[in-house]
Amino acid sequence: MKTLVYNGPWDMSLEVVPDPTPVAGEVLLKIETVGICGSDVHGFTGESGRRRPGMIMGHETCGRIIELGDDVTGFQVGDSVAVFPSVPCNDCEFCADGREQLCETKEIIGVNLDDHGAMAEYMTYPAGGLYKLARGVDPAIGLLAEPIGVGMHAMKLMDPKPSDVVAIVGGGMIGTGLTIALKAHGVRNVFVLDMIPDKLQLVASFGAHPINIKTDDAAEVMQEIAGRPTANGAFEAVGRGPTVRSAFDLLGTGGTLVVIGNLDQEFTLPMQLVTWRETIIRGSYGFSCADFADAVDLINQGNIDLSPLITGRCTLEETPDIMTKLGREEMQATKMVICP
């Protein structure tokens, strides 16, 4: 089969390796779609240090089952599935509590699961990490369960009321996934801050109030639309210290800040304001199996047109050039999808 191998910063090569064979409890998937995640791009450039040479990237993926290993039940050859990208231990206190994303020994495809990743024609995977897609669901849409799952998880940590004013700093894929999750949850006033007009237009199409940080005053916009100049809750979906502070500054007394982005090593906040306002600060990492299932259910219901999230499609052969353009910011994309 053809695979894309990461050789080091800014270097990927197309290679041919033997087809994998499923062992007991696994299935063999024909990979239909792979999403290029921002973390893949930061790994490709070497910025994050979270990808190692010799590995196959790709963790946002959908595939079609073409072979069942021994002891696999509940699936058939031909099923189209979304892949929960983490393989947890299923034995620790976090797994027992349904917080698989916190399992300290979990492995993630395309990140640290041996050299295993989805940027390939085929992949074996444990059947317990597969979620069926409804008949007719485009596999490019199905892989959006991953970023929408991130939004589902972060939203549950905040647990906003429908009447709350909620702000999101960052209108990229995570910010958009959050918008979709919040609106599906019934939150009426969702404000998204960004500086790129196309991103703001996209989140507006999903029901958010866009705020261009170059031209708009966030407090004035929230006051005009929601009747208050501050938010009950704010999400940081960029990963930089200054944007964490921007999200904090949007909050009123008693507000909740949920930090999702994780590029910078540290951020600073005014300690006295944190204490005086009794600000709740939470980190949000990935998603649990339940969050992912909720995201797949949302997709399977088909009530929301998610096709505008797909910027374009490419082959395995075209992917290194696409990754380079994304890494150099010569190209903007909400979600580029690889079709092996």
> How does DSSP classify residue 20?
P
Closest CA to 169 of 244, 97, 85, 73: 244
Q: Does the pLDDT value for residue 330 go beyond 70?
A: yes
Q: What is the mean pLDDT of residues 18-35?
A: 95
Q: Which residues of 263-289 are buried (b: 16+ CB within 10 A; e: fewer)?
A: eeeebebeeeeeeebebeeeebebbbb
Q: Is residue 137 helix, strand or coil?
A: coil
pLDDT band for position 263 (50/70/90)? Answer: confident
Cα–Cα distance, 20 to 27 (Å, whole number): 10
Q: What is the mean pLDDT of residues 202-219?
A: 96
CB neighbour class for 146 (10 Å; exposed up to 12, middle 13-18, buried from 19): buried
Task: Give the other-Cβ count within 10 Å of 86's Cβ.
Answer: 22
Same fold, 2-144+306-338 and 148-283: no
Q: Please state, rounded to an integer, the average pLDDT across all residues of the chain.
A: 94
The per-residue pLDDT for 116 is: 80
Closest CA to 114 of 20, 16, 48: 20
The per-residue pLDDT for 3 is: 94
Q: What is the mean pLDDT of residues 42-58?
A: 84
The per-residue pLDDT for 10 is: 94
Do residues 183 and 220 lie in contact, with contact meaning Cβ atoms separated by under 8 Å? no
Does the reported pTM lie above 0.85? yes
pLDDT in tens, 291-304: 999 999 999 999 99
Q: What is the mean pLDDT of residues 200-205?
A: 96
pLDDT in tens, 104-162: 999 888 888 777 899 999 999 999 999 999 999 999 999 999 999 999 999 999 999 99
Q: Is residue 53 helix, strand or coil?
A: coil
Residue ranges covered by each domain of the chain = 2-144+306-338, 148-283
Q: Does the pLDDT value for residue 333 go beyond 90?
A: no
The per-residue pLDDT for 84 is: 95
The per-residue pLDDT for 49 is: 66
148-283 domain in CATH 1.10.3720.10? no
Q: What is the mean pLDDT of residues 17-39?
A: 93
Q: Does the pLDDT value for residue 200 go beyond 70?
A: yes
The per-residue pLDDT for 334 is: 86
2-144+306-338 domain in CATH 3.30.1180.20? no
The per-residue pLDDT for 46 is: 83
The per-residue pLDDT for 264 is: 83
